């Protein structure tokens, strides 16, 4: 009888030890539950491409996977800051040329044509500009909304204006440029900002390189990577022999809704230069 209490306590202590040991393992992974769920549902898609039950791969993880495969994220200029001088294609409405009636859509990188039904209007199309549909020209007499001293970094890495970089009055003793607001493109021809390739474009760029590594440099491979990287933006490829090289004729689909067009086009040129050295890309006039 004297030993019974000791056996009881020993059993209780042992049971409590085992229980707390098991519970401690659960507690140790509580902070990892969300991470484990992410890896369980993660798919090779980006935000906006996933369907029910899927979780998009994180951009930083996509970049890390590409780096492990030896593919670095190209550095490019933000498209919004490339330049204010943009040339439109001939746009005829009712047998009259209306290419001067365009506002540049910075989201789709195409011109939207307005006021094309008559010759004269009561005011300038600048009255219809927005932050996303911008005019390439500033009307004479427009008052600047700010001033930027030479050498000032105006945009952050996301292409957003840094507060304080635009002054309310002209700086004294230093060169400066006038700022007319984000409804115009003229500001971009001076101030450029480098950034990594847009993540959706980089995903396509990475997939294109892996496709070429797998299938090699062939006409079929060229068509495949062109479709992956530029979708419906670069179309009507044609190869012509002009010794000692082949001319790769292509056309641009201005109606494409693809994002980061200039970045994808530059990446396409880079892929051709690396993998299809005998081809010289030439855009059809």
- The Cβ-side half-sphere exposure at 39, using a 13 Å CA radius, reads 5
> Is 90 exceeded by the pLDDT of residue 151?
no
Torsional class of 216: left (φ above 0), alpha (ψ -120 to 50), beta (otherwise) = left
Given a contact cutoff of 8 angstroms between Cβ atoms, the answer to whether 242 and 200 are in contact is: no
User: Which structure tokens are listed for 112?
Assistant: 């939207």
pLDDT score of 13: 58
Cis peptide before 55 (omega within 30 of 0): no
Which segments of 42-94 does DSSP mark as H helices, in order?
A: 59-68
Is the predicted pLDDT of residue 188 greater than 50, yes or no? no
| pLDDT tens string 10-40 | 555 566 666 777 777 777 677 777 788 888 8
Q: What does the angle CA 105 – CA 108 – CA 111 come to, to the nearest 5 degrees?
A: 40
State the Rg of the chain over Cα: 29
* DSSP for 34-45, written as a single string: HHHHHHHHEES-
Could you report the per-residue pLDDT of 46-74, keeping only the tens digit for each? 988 888 889 999 999 999 999 988 888 88
78 pLDDT above the threshold of 50: no
Domain coordinates in residue numbering, the chain: 4-57, 75-196, 199-283
In tens, the pLDDT along 236-276 reads 999 888 877 788 999 999 888 888 888 888 889 888 888 88
């Amino acid at each position: 009888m004297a030993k019974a209490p000791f056996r009881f306590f020993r059993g209780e202590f042992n049971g409590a030890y085992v229980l707390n040991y098991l519970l401690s393992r659960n507690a140790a992974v509580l902070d990892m539950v969300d991470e484990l769920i992410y890896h369980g549902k993660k798919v090779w898609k980006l935000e906006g491409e996933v369907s029910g039950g899927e979780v998009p791969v994180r951009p930083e993880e996509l970049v890390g996977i590409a780096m492990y495969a030896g593919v670095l994220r190209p550095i490019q200029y933000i498209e919004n800051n490339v330049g204010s001088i943009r040339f439109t294609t001939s746009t005829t409405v009712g047998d009259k040329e209306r290419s001067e009636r365009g506002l540049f859509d910075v989201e789709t990188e195409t011109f939207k044509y307005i006021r094309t039904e008559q010759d004269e209007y009561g005011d300038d199309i600048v009255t219809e500009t927005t932050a996303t549909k911008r005019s390439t020209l500033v009307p004479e007499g427009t008052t600047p909304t700010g001033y930027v001293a030479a050498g000032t970094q105006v945009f952050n890495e996301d292409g957003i204006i840094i507060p304080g970089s635009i002054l309310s009055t002209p700086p004294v003793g230093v060169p400066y440029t006038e700022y007319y607001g984000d409804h115009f493109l003229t500001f971009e021809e001076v101030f450029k900002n480098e950034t990594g390739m847009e993540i959706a474009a980089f995903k396509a760029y990475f997939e294109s390189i892996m496709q070429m590594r797998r299938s090699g440099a062939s006409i079929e491979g060229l068509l495949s990577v062109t479709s992956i990287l530029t979708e419906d933006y670069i179309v009507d490829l044609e190869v012509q022999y002009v010794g000692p090289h082949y001319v790769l004729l292509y056309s641009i689909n201005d109606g494409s809704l693809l994002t980061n067009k200039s970045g994808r086009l530059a990446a396409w040129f880079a892929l051709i230069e690396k993998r299809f050295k005998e081809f010289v890309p030439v855009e059809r006039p």
